[in-house]
Structures are given as C-alpha cells and as structure tokens.
Structure 1
Amino acid sequence: MSSPNDQLHLFAFNKKDANKTSKTAKLNYKSPGERYGNQFDIALIVITCLAFATRFWKLSHPNEVVFDEVHFGKFASYYLRQQYFFDVHPPFGKLLFAFIGWLVGFDGSFMFDDIGISYNKYKVPYVAYRSLPAFLSSCTLPIIFLTMKEAGYSLPASILSTSIVLFDNAHISFSRLILLDAMLIFATVCTIYSYIMFYKQRHSPFSYSWWKWLILIGVGLSSTISIKYIGVFTFMTIGVAVIINLWSLLGIERGLSIFIFIQHIIYRLFCLIIIPFFIYLFWFYVHFEILKNPGPGDAFMTTEFRDTLQNSPLARQGLAVHYYDKITLKHIDTNAFLHSHPERYPVKYENGRVSSNGQQVTAVSFEDQNNIWIVLPEKDENKQRLGYPVKYNDTVRFLHVSTQTILLSHDVASPLYITNPEFTTVPLDQAIERHPYTLFQLRPTHNKAEDIVYTKLGILHVIHTFANVAMWTHNDVCLPEWGFGQQEINGNTDIADRSNNWMFNTIMDMNDSSRLNITVNVTKRMNFFKKWIHLQMRMFSHNNALTEKHPYGSHPITWPLGIDGIACWSKKSDKKQIYFHGNVLGWWLECFFLIVFVSLLIADRILLKRKSSLFSDSVRYRLYTSSGFFGFAWTIHYLPFFIMKRQLFLHHYLPAHLCLALFTGTIFDFLLGLTYCECALKQATYNVKKPCSNRYNNDRTNSVYNHRIKQAWLISMSIVITFAGTYIYFSPLTYGEPGLSDSDILKRRILGFKLQFSG
C-alpha cells in the first residue's frame, strides 16, 4: 500500500511518467463517467427535464406580489425609470431583472408596493420576471450532477446529490419568485464546477483548458459577490483551496522552478482577484450610469452625490440650517414630527410607577405650531452664533417655541419603555442649572462631520450627550388617553439603531429672505471611485444595522434541520399559502452523513495514533481532499452566520445546503465501499511492477464494485423516491395551490412550521 506521499505523487505525475505508464501498464483505468457509458447522459437529460418541470410548473400562480418581490420588483422598476434607489445588495442581480423588464417592454410604472397586490390588474409582466430565477435554478441541477460526475463519483451518488436539491421545497419556492437567491445558487455551483474542472487540468498547466477554467472561476466568483455579499463565502472556499494547491506546488518533489511557481501565483491572482474585482466594479458603473434621476435613495447619500443627479427636488428644496432658526424635526421611519404641549406626564402611571410629572414630549404625524423648535448653540454667547450654519457633530439645544421650554432628557424611565430615559422640557431658568441634560449632538449617519446640515437632505441621530442615548420614537404602541394617543419620545440605548434616524424638515419664519433664493440644481460630476466607496460604506453600515427582530427570523443553529420557515403569501378565502421550508428528509440526511464524516475523521485520527487504520492511504486521501473540500465549502458558507448580528432567515442557508448536498454524495460512495473500489482500480492501473497481479486484483475489484453498485442503485433510488414523495406532499405549500383543509394544514405543521390557517 502506498504512503500518503506516494499517493500525492500518484496524482501529480509528469507527462514523461504518464507515457511510460501507458506503455507498460496492461490495464486501463476507467473513470465512473467512462464506465457507465451513456447512462450518465440519460440521467442528465432526465434530471434537466425534471428541474424545468418542478421550477416552471404553474409559474404564473399566484398572480399577486409575493414576499420580497415587493423589494426586488420595485428595484427593477426604479432601474427602468432611472430613479436612484438604495439597497444593501450589489446591483448585478437586480440589473438582470431590469433587463428582463426592458426586453418585454415594461416601463416600470408598477412599484410592487405591497404583498397581495394583483399583477393582472396593472398588466405587469411578472411571469417574465419569475422566469429568470426559474431558468437559472433549472440549470443549477445539471451542473450539480456534472460536478459530481467530474469529481469522479458514481452515477447513484451523483443522482442522490442532485435529487437533494431537485426535490427540495425550499430551493423550488425561492426559484419561482422575483428574488436573488436562485441567481446566487447558480453562480455558486458554477464556480465550484469550474474549480473542479480547473483542478483536473493540473497536469497540463498554462494550456488552453487550464486558462479557460481558471478565468471561468473568476467570472463565477465575481458573479456571486455581485449578486449578494454572502458570495464572499464562495470566494473564501475557492481561495483556501487555491492556497493549499499552491503550497503543494511549492514542494521540491514537484520539480517546478521558482520562476514557474511565481507564474502560478501571478496568474491565479490575476484571474481570481483582479478580474472579479473589475467585473464587480463594472456592475456598479452600470448602476450609476442608469440611475441618473432623483429617487427614494437620495436621502441615504451625501449632498455631493445628490448633486450628480439631474435636478433633484430634494437638493432644490434643501436649505442650510442656521443657529436660532425655527425648525421642525421629522422622524424618518414613522414620518412623525417632534412635538410638545403644556400637558404633563401623570404623577403615577397605571402600573403605579412614578414619572417626573414634566411637560410631555411626543411625536405626531400632523403639522401644527407645537412642532416648532429653535436650534440654540451649546452656550448662548449673547447670540454670537446668529446666522452661523449648523454642522454635523455640533452640540446644540432645542427651545420649544410655544411653551418657551428647553428639551431635556434625564434619569427617569419613559412611559412605555422602562429601560429608556424619558424626554421632557424645562423652563429657561431651570435649564441653566440642568445645562448638561439639555445638550444633544447632531451625529451624522453618512455625511462628513464638517458638512452643513440641510433640511430634507441629511439623516442624523440626535444623541443626548450626558446619557449617551439617541432620541427615538415608535408607533407600535402609543400613549394612552392622557397622552392623546400620540407617539412617545424616549432615549434609545442602542444609539446605532437605524430607527433613530431624524432629519430637519422645514425652516419656519425665515428672517433672511435671501436664503429663500434657491438656485435650480445644476448636475455636477463626481469621481466614480468616490461614489463607489461612499455607497459601499453606506451598504455595509445599513446591512449591519438590520438588527430588528422579525417574526420569521431564525438562528443558524436551527437551519441544518430545517426547523423554521418563512410565510411568503396567503389567500384566506381559499386557504392557499406559500411557506418557505426545506424537504426535511433531505436536510436530515445531509446532517446524518455530516455526523458520519466527523465520526470517521475522529476515529481515523485516534487509530493512526495507535499505528492502526480504518482504511487505506489512497481512500483516506480521497476522503480528506474530495469530501473534505465539499465539507469545507459547507462550513465556510454556514458558520460565519453565527457571528452576524443582523436579521437572519432560513434562506441564508441555501448556498450551504447546496454544498452539503454535494458532500452527501461523496460520503454515500464511501459508505457503500465504492470509493475503496475506485481507489483500488486506479492504483492497480498505475502499478507497473506487477501486471499479472494487477489483472487479478482488477478483476476481483471489478466484481466487488459491480456487486456494490447494485446495492448503491437500490439504496439511492429508494432515497430519491422518498425525497420525491415528501416534495409532493408539501407541494401545496411550495406552489401556493391547491388550498388545503384545516386538517391537511395541521398534518403539515411539523417541526417549527408557522403555517397560516392552522388554528
């Protein structure tokens, strides 16, 4: 039996050795693809047909906006209308949707405002939009199959891995909607397939095929990260594999000169880093070139950026805020104005808790005189700052005009949130002795510190400097009758929460009439890289700020078992619904094989310490490298979510689920002994010293292989049929029809499924 080093040489022999072997060896090794003849081709055709059938069946149902189609359909409309918008995802996937809309002649007039709005009523080409992810998801299945084939696994194992995704309700659900997930999955599997094909060219470096697959890896990597930022996990997977491969090439036994080795490094850097980066930049360039008109994304960008848009109404309405201006402050999320009135908080609340009995500070959705405040400097200075502009990061005070009181926050619990301090106002004479409690910093969310604050433009957090809390309001629950049902104002201890966003809305009774002479905004130019860097920073910060709890959010620890799901759409009259969930049998089988793999690794390492072994060196090498690669891909696509603080949902697990499906097929071959037979046949083929013994061992191994392949067919087909049955059973929740009776819904409410109409 060869040593691990011998096995490494076996997979890295040069052309001279290869020619010698082919002349001397009496046996020719056949890969699984060659051994099965046209069976692989027949299976590929069947899988492709089933993929298109499961993804395109009744694609037009429902003819209403479903789940996050409200976002990605809307973004496509903004592209078609060339109106600037803001989103946390890179532009490539959304540009593809817009391209489909442009192809079918859609003008972007429909804005996908809410789930359940009829597409037919507004003549929206939604089927064309949905066909894009459905087509890409359908193409994903044959590539999964070919990946297993090219990696050298048996036909039953290739079918098993493919079927896990083919009959998975989760993959099907999100491939039939205007969402980015099917695009990301397609780009991910194409990248993995390209890497497998590139690795197979390792004996002919710098050849045409070697270059082709290396460049295609780069294109695949750029596509993953240009669709969603979690595509960086695919980058990490391929990156680690390439580094390990380069480390192997550095060995002196490989016979490479330092010059050739450096070439390997440079070419990989160029194709896997530089090319993907410039493709990534290209999609942002297209993004900026299309979105030339003002839109809802203006408010997220700097004044300098907004000046590059054509006649932005916000820029034309924006006025510089000066000290001693009478202004109104507006909360971004609830569109409510900062408000106060003479009425006071009750001495005791309904639960017996004591308040400050101070003047009420609230938020209202209507405009009146009690919404007007004066911006004062940190110290009065005899009005020496009169006429000076207010800048971000300035510390200011707010004077309520109608009651002549100063805004203040202190160590008293707010009416509705006992963890957050109360906001109130105090008369001018009391404000002098309580001066530190009246100071607020205008902290920018994206503008530069030296920028001037403008009305209707800048978004900021109003931070109480003494308590280090952010002024905040909410409309999930309002004040009782004593507070006139208005929104409360309190101090949010999470000062980075994006729901703390405020803006200066209007300037009232402006004394200097020259400030009203607004010049029509002239479109300016801005360096592309400056725009790109600023947008990247905004995207990352906004993405990290998505920390609010969601009723269908879930923790990564529950994902591999498919415990949670997401309600995407429902029709109460017919009791129809679309519920995103996985095919639990497939997901649990993946977990079982993962546990088997880890157990084998632990047992093998322990036995090796005792100078024993579970399997041969060649089998161990294949298990560690090939199965290990897919297992590592799953790890990289899954474990990082445990350290993320943003909202997480089950669909974030889909790329990891794909990698684990490939991994499952490799362990299937190993457990049935097919991996052992493959390694034995390959080693016998290239062992040129004992041709007679080789022929005997080859015939004997072939006999064992044929027996085990029959077992593999029986087991794999039984599993696949079970997958198909489970998929069909849950298909009413996947396709949104037919409607189910109460009893049928209850039967399908397993694990943590939160189904509609289930009582």
Structure 2
Amino acid sequence: MATPNASLRQRGGKEKNKAFADEDHDEHIFSQAYADVQKRASKQWDYKLALGVITLLAFATRFFGISHPNEVVFDEVHFGKFASYYLQRTYFFDVHPPFAKLLFAFVGWLVGYDGHFLFDNIGESYISNNVPYLAFRALPALLGALTVVVVFLIMWESGYSLPACVLAAGLVLFDNSHVGQTRLILLDATLVFFMALSILAYIRFYRQRHEPFGRKWWKWLLLTGFCMSCVISTKYVGTFTFVTIGCAVLIDLWDLLDVNRRGGALDLMTFGKHFVARAVGLIIIPFFFYLFWFQVHFAVLTRSGPGDDFMSPEFQETLSDNLMHQASVDIQYGDYITLRHKDTKVYLHSHPDKYPLRYEDGRISSQGQQVTGYPFNDTNNQWQILPGTPNPDSTQEGQPVLNGDVVQLRHIVTDTMLLTHDVASPFYPTNQEFTTVALDLAAGDRHNDTLFEIRMEQGKQGQPFRSHSGQFKLIHFPTKVAMWTHTTPLPEWAFKQAEINGNKNVQQSSNIWYVDDIPSIPEDSPRLVKEPKKVKRLPFLTKYFELQRAMFYHNNALTSSHPYASQPYQWPFLLRGVSFWTQESTKQQIYFLGNPIGYWITSALLAVLAGIMGADQLSLRRGVDALDKRTRSRLYNSTGFFFLCWAAHYFPFYLMGRQLFLHHYLPAHLASCLVTGALVEFIFNVDPILDDETSSVIAAKKDKVVSKVPEKTRRSFQTAQERLKGQSLFATWVATAVVLAVVIYGFYFFFPLTYGWPGLNPQQVNARKWLGYDLHFAK
C-alpha cells in the first residue's frame, strides 16, 4: 500500500513466455511498452467520450430540481446563516474552519445578496424572504458534479481500463448520499471534492517521479499540497487526507533509499532534497494556506455578533459595537455584585436552606447553608465584595478591585460569608463543598476559608477588575480550588438548582465567571458615564490560537444525543439515514440515504480485497507464488493505496466521542468506489492501458526502443496482447454493466427520498424501509 502505481501486468502465462523466450528482458519490456503506447494513442477517444457522457450525467443528477424545496433544509440553518454573517461582517463562532463557508459568502456577494436573512428555522421560505438560494445551492452542486469527473480521472491517470473507470465513477454518480449532500447549502461537497482532487494531484505528481524537480513535478506537488489545505480548511476530518498522502509519501521516500531500486539508491544529499521538497510542498505551504483562510475570516468579521460569548474579553475588544465592553464598569470594594457562570449562565446563589445531613450515597455533609447556581435574576444572587483582611480599613471601601486581589464575598440577604472547605460536594466527592458561614466565624476561626483570589483570564497583575469584560476564576486562597458549576441539577432538597463546588483542576476552561451586574451603583453615578472606545487590535496568531482552542473544545463537547446520529459500524452497510426535511401537506420528504445496492457492493469488495491480500500473503508463506510480480505490485500499490485511503477516512471515527452522522462516511465511500473499480479489473484479468514505470522509460528512450525492437516482434506481441485483452475486457464490460444496472435501479427507487419529490403514500414509503429506515409518512 505504498503509492498509486499503474504497473503493467503481464498476462497469458505460457503463450507470452514462449513468444518472448529468446528476447532480451529489456527489449521485452520496451516492446510491451511500445505496443501499449500505440494502442493508447489510438484509443484515447473512447475515454474522452465516456468522460463527456459521465460529466453530463453528473451535472444532470446534481442540478435536476435543485430549486425544490424552496425552504430551509436541515443544516442549511447553520451554513446559510454563516454566509449571511460574513456578508454582514458580523462575528460568529463555528467548530469548522472557514474555507467552505467563505466560498458560500463569495457566491452571495457575487449575486448581490446582502445577508439580511439568517436561516433561523428549518422550513422558512426562501421565496418570501427574497434569498438567492439557487446560487448558494449551485456551488455544492457544481463541486459534486466535478467530483464524479475527478473520480474518473483518478482511475484513468492510474492506468485502469475504461470499464474500471466507468464503474468507479458510476458508483459515485448514481449514489443517493453524494447527490443528496451536494444539492444543499452544506460543507461536504467542498470537502469530498478537494479530497478527491488531492488524490488525483498526488497520482499526477507520482507519475513524474522519474523527472524529479522538473516543472511538472513541482506543479503537481504544490497542487497536491494546496488541495489538501482546502480539505482541512473545510473540516478538521480533512486530517485523514493528510494521513493518506502522508503514508504514501513516507513509503515513497523509503523506496528512494533502496539500493536495489531502478537507477540505484540516491545519495544522501539528493535524498535530503526530496525530503525537504515534500515537506515544503505537502506540510509547510498547506499550513500557510490554512492560516490564510483564518486571516480572511478575521478581516471580514469585524463587527460584534453572536460569536462574542465564545471569545475572551481581549478578543471582543477587537470587534466594533461590542456590548460587553460598552456595559463594563470598574468594580469597587463595597459594591453589590451578581456573578454569572460563562458556560451555563447560572448566577451564584444562596438561600437559608441547609445541605442534608446525608446524601443519597450515605456521605455526610457539613449541613451548612446551600450555595447553588440559579438561572434567573433574584435578590438572593447579590453578593458584596470586600477586602480579604480580618479588619478592613474603612478607607478601602470605594477603592477599585484589582486582578490578583484576595477578597471576601458577603451574601446580602442572609448576611453570611461565602466559604469552601475540605468537605466533599454533593455530586463530586473529589471536589469541595461551597457554603456560607456567619460573619463572626468569618472574622475568627474560619477567616482563611472565606478568602478568594480574583484571577482574571489573560489579565495582568493589578489590572482593574470590571463587570462583563473582566472574566475571571475565583480561586480559594488556602486550598487553591476554583469555583465551578455544571449542568446536572441537584435533587429536590436544593430545588433542582445547579451544584457549586471547588474544582481542583484550576486550569479547566469551564471555571470562568463574570460579574453580570452591579445593582448598588446609583443611576446618576459618574461610573456609568461611557466614553467612546476605540477598537483594539490583537496580533493574528493570538486571535488564531484562541479561536483554535475554542473550536477544538466545543467540537469535542458535541456529545449530546441526536435522533439521527449513527455509529461508524452502521455506515458501510447503510443501516441508518438522516431526515432532512418534510412537508405534511404533500407528504414529501428528503431523507439522507445512500444507494443501498451501491454501498453493499463496495463494502463487499472491500472485504474481498482484504481476503485476496490475506490469501496472497498466506500462499507466499507456503512457497506458492500465485501472482506475477507486476500483478502483485499493482494490487498492493494501486488498489492498496485506494484501500488505505478508505481505511484512513473511516477507522479514526471509532475513536471519536462526538456526534456522528452518515455524511461523515462520504470521503471513505468515494475511496471504496475506487477500490471497487480497481478490483473488478483485477478479478477479470484486464491489462491496464500503460505502466507508468515503463511510460517514463518510453518517453525518455522512444527512438532507441523503436529501432531496437524488430517489426516482427512488435506485430506478434500486439496480436497476442490484443486477443487476451479482448477476452478479459469483454468480461469486465459485462460485469460493469450488470453492477451499474442494479445501482441505477437503486438510485431510481430511492429518488423521491433524495430529491424530495414526488410525495409517497404510506405503501410506497414502507416499500423503501429496507433496513428499518425511520421514514416519515409511513402510516
């Protein structure tokens, strides 16, 4: 499974061996290559004709009825919204990189759309809201159609026969999941297109390996890197494409060190050049392109928006019209304040009720006053901030609170001090309980337990502590735990409010709070007078790294259940789909589902390939060599490369804990279609059109070859080769026709679920529930 290699397979056994028994080995190779060159030159037209037909069909299937439905469908609520935010230059947050979303925004800008519609709900009308949704949907449809073309070109460039090219492209062309995902305002069309283009560009680069550092060699190397950068700049699962190409490159570099390779091993200086060139072209330059799209993202989004809450106060100060900084006020000692948790939005709250003597698991509490998180504004949420000294100087009241100060918090209603101590919290035995104590105890023996340090996020020591913009962690001074809360409610004895406890993991990002209000400030206070603030600037890398942290954190947090989520083991067998859209009045629905027949065929042949490779390795162990050298090289290097591509885009999902859906399988499914086309050719014993190993030799030594090979030898070789190829090629065409016929039937049968038209009656719906698909209108 090293690299895609269009090796020439020698067929015919004894007949061929006899024909060339007296020929020199090199002349044998040259004569084969020469005959193939002549044959390929005379048969280019059939590949071009097939490619033209497939291209027309690809555009027809992707663009047919693209205006239906004229309503917001499934995740168009997200990616259409993001395009509108770009056009409004309003800051938003998303867990995916910006490239594909910028493409949508660019399309909207081209057609003069101003971003006034925010795609808030599935089913909202595009027509009544005057949204150019056809332009938006045309982008993924275009990329989806071109993806089919690229699949054909991958097979053609790899040297496969015409039926193998048609079969691989046809499986993608008539797959309902690829069609359904590329007709809507979604990211996967961009992801899959550039993933396929990366594979094609790398194959073209690999074919230039006998002319290293030439113009074409550099062109295809850099194009490979650019396409991979577009993949990972669309979604982070694009990393799997880097793994695929990276494995191929590493094995290729390893082969360059082999002293037995054609032309001998490279000297270390030349090998170093090869290594550096690939590192620059496939890692460094793609990374700079990846950064470039974030630079565009930040340059476009300059206004405050719904994404502000995900970013730090410093970041928000770079956005114009930011409400947090407009409402922020310096906090002074003696102020009454309300504290709010950044993630859950609950207020720090207390009331006279006590913790129970024993919790449900039998542990004993302190029976102190309950401190909880409460979602609504209430007088029990008010705390007075005081200096953390036993006998505070009266002159300190009215002085600003600074970052790093040690303070006390007095609960106003119950006149008690906030405290945490080495008693286990209700839900987390490893975390500390938060409670309050009477003022006399807080000034005496329990004083130290009431001390807390203000530690502002990314704040400098001595910086003023402010409401809203001053996000901070409240660190218990003696025990160094951070005040924390979570979403699991406490039992009835705490009125199902949120638990507040002391988290020993101080670095955890969910420990962050902010001061939401200062109710003790009079309305006419000069502290409330605002001066216009200038928008601040942050270095690009500072903003980039902050956004990356937030994206990875929230992406990993997507663990909640979803009614249409599925597991990776279900994808190759198409056990589940996703409901995208329904319309009760017409009984129409869009149900995201692949072509079951196509999925099952490709999955079966993946298993067949694994079985063939396993049997070959076992037979070699037992001294039985069932395949000739070139056949085995092609099976492992070319078909094996496609199999590696499938595995790299599939198996990593088993390690993920986030929500997963069928569309995550689309890149792997495309690779399985490539495997299917290649394996059908292998099974029916069809010679490829040309070996890329010998094609480079022919290109360099054409005149020598023609003069060296006798005319009689060329004619006899061509006659034998054409006869053998004709027999196996016919069988391959038959197999391709049969497979595509049943695949087209599956595509047509599930057509109404893919295109959302026409509506189906209950009997027709139930007829399509092959594996218990949870379709609507089945009754």
Q: What TM-score comes out, normalization by structure 2 length?
A: 0.83
Distance 1:467 1:732 in 2: 61
Aligned-partner SS, 1:122: coil
Distance 1:674 1:636 in 2: 28
Work out whether residues 572 and 603 of structure 2, in 8 Å CA contact, stay in contact via their aligned partners in 1. Answer: yes
Work out whether residues 482 and 504 of structure 2, in 8 Å CA contact, stay in contact via their aligned partners in 1. Answer: yes
- In the alignment, which residue of structure 2 is the partner of 1:303? 313
- In the alignment, which residue of structure 2 is the partner of 1:13? none
Q: Is 1:38 aligned to residue 45 of structure 2?
A: yes
- In the alignment, which residue of structure 2 is the partner of 1:14? none
Work out whether residues 403 and 460 of structure 2, in 8 Å CA contact, stay in contact via their aligned partners in 1. Answer: no
1:539 to 520, 539, 551: 551
- In the alignment, which residue of structure 1 is the partner of 2:18? none
Distance 2:239 2:773 in 1: 30
- In the alignment, which residue of structure 2 is the partner of 1:754? 774
2:161 to 154, 163, 169: 154
Work out whether residues 9 and 631 of structure 2, in 8 Å CA contact, stay in contact via their aligned partners in 1. Answer: no
Kindly state the Cα deviation for residue 349 of structure 1 after the two structures are TM-superposed. Answer: 11
Distance 2:408 2:772 in 1: 50
- In the alignment, which residue of structure 1 is the partner of 2:618? 606
Distance 2:513 2:665 in 1: 35
1:223-263 Cα offsets, whole Å, 9 max, x none, are 11221222122122222222322332334452555544443
Q: Decide which moves more: 685-694 or 75-84.
A: 685-694
Distance 2:612 2:553 in 1: 42
Distance 1:615 1:441 in 2: 73
- Structure 2 vs 1, CA of residues 490 and 367 (structure 1 numbering), >3 Å: closer, same or farther? closer
Kindly state the Cα deviation for residue 427 of structure 1 after the two structures are TM-superposed. Answer: 4.6
Work out whether residues 338 and 371 of structure 1, in 8 Å CA contact, stay in contact via their aligned partners in 2. Answer: yes
- In the alignment, which residue of structure 2 is the partner of 1:402? 413
Amino acid at match of 1:619: T
Amino acid at match of 2:167: L
Note the 1:60-71 alignment, pairs <5 A.
60-71=67-78
Distance 2:235 2:341 in 1: 30
Kindly state the Cα deviation for residue 744 of structure 1 after the two structures are TM-superposed. Answer: 3.0
Distance 2:308 2:532 in 1: 17
- Structure 2 vs 1, CA of residues 24 and 639 (structure 1 numbering), >3 Å: closer, same or farther? closer
Kindly state the Cα deviation for residue 311 of structure 1 after the two structures are TM-superposed. Answer: 4.3
Work out whether residues 320 and 452 of structure 1, in 8 Å CA contact, stay in contact via their aligned partners in 2. Answer: yes
Q: Decide which moves more: 624-633 or 39-48.
A: 39-48
Aligned-partner SS, 2:649: helix
Distance 1:31 1:380 in 2: 97
Kindly state the Cα deviation for residue 183 of structure 1 after the two structures are TM-superposed. Answer: 0.4
Q: Is 1:77 aligned to residue 88 of structure 2?
A: no
Q: Decide which moves more: 253-262 or 708-717.
A: 253-262
Kindly state the Cα deviation for residue 140 of structure 1 after the two structures are TM-superposed. Answer: 0.7
Note the 1:611-622 alignment, pairs <5 A.
611-622=623-634
- Structure 2 vs 1, CA of residues 326 and 536 (structure 1 numbering), >3 Å: closer, same or farther? same
- Structure 2 vs 1, CA of residues 639 and 183 (structure 1 numbering), >3 Å: closer, same or farther? same
- Structure 2 vs 1, CA of residues 137 and 592 (structure 1 numbering), >3 Å: closer, same or farther? same
2:401 to 380, 389, 398: 389
Aligned-partner SS, 2:121: coil
Kindly state the Cα deviation for residue 646 of structure 1 after the two structures are TM-superposed. Answer: 2.9
Kindly state the Cα deviation for residue 174 of structure 1 after the two structures are TM-superposed. Answer: 1.6
Work out whether residues 473 and 487 of structure 1, in 8 Å CA contact, stay in contact via their aligned partners in 2. Answer: no
- In the alignment, which residue of structure 1 is the partner of 2:175? 168
Unaligned runs of 5+ in 1: 11-16
- Structure 2 vs 1, CA of residues 115 and 543 (structure 1 numbering), >3 Å: closer, same or farther? same
Q: Which protein shows a greater Rg?
A: 2
Work out whether residues 66 and 569 of structure 1, in 8 Å CA contact, stay in contact via their aligned partners in 2. Answer: yes
- Structure 2 vs 1, CA of residues 578 and 358 (structure 1 numbering), >3 Å: closer, same or farther? farther
2:63 to 56, 69, 73: 56
- Structure 2 vs 1, CA of residues 442 and 139 (structure 1 numbering), >3 Å: closer, same or farther? farther
Aligned-partner SS, 2:233: helix
2:734 to 695, 701, 714: 714
Q: Is 1:627 aligned to residue 639 of structure 2?
A: yes
- In the alignment, which residue of structure 2 is the partner of 1:530? 542
- In the alignment, which residue of structure 2 is the partner of 1:724? 744
Distance 1:349 1:125 in 2: 59
Q: Is 1:116 aligned to residue 128 of structure 2?
A: no
Amino acid at match of 1:282: F
Work out whether residues 434 and 502 of structure 2, in 8 Å CA contact, stay in contact via their aligned partners in 1. Answer: no
Distance 1:524 1:631 in 2: 51
Note the 1:264-279 alignment, pairs <5 A.
264-279=274-289
Aligned-partner SS, 1:570: strand
- Structure 2 vs 1, CA of residues 634 and 446 (structure 1 numbering), >3 Å: closer, same or farther? farther
- In the alignment, which residue of structure 1 is the partner of 2:655? 643
How many residues are matched? 742
- Structure 2 vs 1, CA of residues 300 and 172 (structure 1 numbering), >3 Å: closer, same or farther? same
Q: Decide which moves more: 50-59 or 733-742.
A: 733-742
Kindly state the Cα deviation for residue 91 of structure 1 after the two structures are TM-superposed. Answer: 1.4
Kindly state the Cα deviation for residue 182 of structure 1 after the two structures are TM-superposed. Answer: 0.4
Q: Decide which moves more: 135-144 or 563-572.
A: 563-572
Aligned alpha-carbon RMSD (Å):
4.3
Distance 1:502 1:756 in 2: 44
Distance 2:378 2:39 in 1: 78
Distance 1:31 1:643 in 2: 50
Distance 2:580 2:607 in 1: 32
Distance 1:460 1:9 in 2: 68
- In the alignment, which residue of structure 1 is the partner of 2:676? 664
1:125-167 Cα offsets, whole Å, 9 max, x none, are 1121111111111111111111111111122211221122212
2:193 to 186, 193, 197: 186
- Structure 2 vs 1, CA of residues 440 and 205 (structure 1 numbering), >3 Å: closer, same or farther? same
- Structure 2 vs 1, CA of residues 587 and 362 (structure 1 numbering), >3 Å: closer, same or farther? same
1:683-717 Cα offsets, whole Å, 9 max, x none, are 9x999899867765653443232222222222212
Distance 1:729 1:259 in 2: 60
Distance 1:615 1:39 in 2: 30
Kindly state the Cα deviation for residue 221 of structure 1 after the two structures are TM-superposed. Answer: 1.5
Amino acid at match of 1:65: V
- Structure 2 vs 1, CA of residues 434 and 380 (structure 1 numbering), >3 Å: closer, same or farther? closer
Q: Decide which moves more: 486-495 or 701-710.
A: 486-495
Kindly state the Cα deviation for residue 615 of structure 1 after the two structures are TM-superposed. Answer: 1.0
Distance 1:108 1:288 in 2: 18
Q: Decide which moves more: 505-514 or 443-452.
A: 443-452
Kindly state the Cα deviation for residue 550 of structure 1 after the two structures are TM-superposed. Answer: 2.9
- In the alignment, which residue of structure 2 is the partner of 1:87? 94
Distance 1:709 1:425 in 2: 84
Note the 1:203-222 alignment, pairs <5 A.
203-222=210-229
1:396-416 Cα offsets, whole Å, 9 max, x none, are 7654321224556864646xx
Q: Decide which moves more: 741-750 or 280-289.
A: 741-750
Kindly state the Cα deviation for residue 274 of structure 1 after the two structures are TM-superposed. Answer: 3.0
Kindly state the Cα deviation for residue 727 of structure 1 after the two structures are TM-superposed. Answer: 1.9
1:383-428 Cα offsets, whole Å, 9 max, x none, are 7986463648x887654321224556864646xx999998765555
Amino acid at match of 2:301: L
Q: Is 1:371 aligned to residue 407 of structure 2?
A: no
1:286-333 Cα offsets, whole Å, 9 max, x none, are 112111222222233333333322342322222344565422233456
Kindly state the Cα deviation for residue 444 of structure 1 after the two structures are TM-superposed. Answer: 7.4
Kindly state the Cα deviation for residue 95 of structure 1 after the two structures are TM-superposed. Answer: 0.9
Distance 1:467 1:620 in 2: 64
Aligned-partner SS, 1:28: helix
Q: Is 1:316 aligned to residue 329 of structure 2?
A: no
Q: Decide which moves more: 347-356 or 688-697.
A: 347-356
Q: Is 1:472 aligned to residue 472 of structure 2?
A: no
Work out whether residues 129 and 178 of structure 1, in 8 Å CA contact, stay in contact via their aligned partners in 2. Answer: yes
Kindly state the Cα deviation for residue 616 of structure 1 after the two structures are TM-superposed. Answer: 1.0
1:571 to 572, 579, 583: 583
Kindly state the Cα deviation for residue 589 of structure 1 after the two structures are TM-superposed. Answer: 1.8
Distance 1:133 1:210 in 2: 30
Work out whether residues 497 and 545 of structure 1, in 8 Å CA contact, stay in contact via their aligned partners in 2. Answer: no
Work out whether residues 67 and 568 of structure 1, in 8 Å CA contact, stay in contact via their aligned partners in 2. Answer: yes
Kindly state the Cα deviation for residue 169 of structure 1 after the two structures are TM-superposed. Answer: 1.8
1:725-758 Cα offsets, whole Å, 9 max, x none, are 2122222222223333333333333436333344
- In the alignment, which residue of structure 2 is the partner of 1:254? 263
1:655-693 Cα offsets, whole Å, 9 max, x none, are 12212211221111111222589889989x999899867
Distance 1:241 1:99 in 2: 35
- Structure 2 vs 1, CA of residues 8 and 570 (structure 1 numbering), >3 Å: closer, same or farther? closer
- In the alignment, which residue of structure 2 is the partner of 1:328? 338
Distance 1:677 1:104 in 2: 45
Q: Decide which moves more: 398-407 or 637-646.
A: 398-407
Kindly state the Cα deviation for residue 622 of structure 1 after the two structures are TM-superposed. Answer: 0.6
Q: What TM-score comes out, normalization by structure 1 length?
A: 0.85
- Structure 2 vs 1, CA of residues 436 and 586 (structure 1 numbering), >3 Å: closer, same or farther? farther
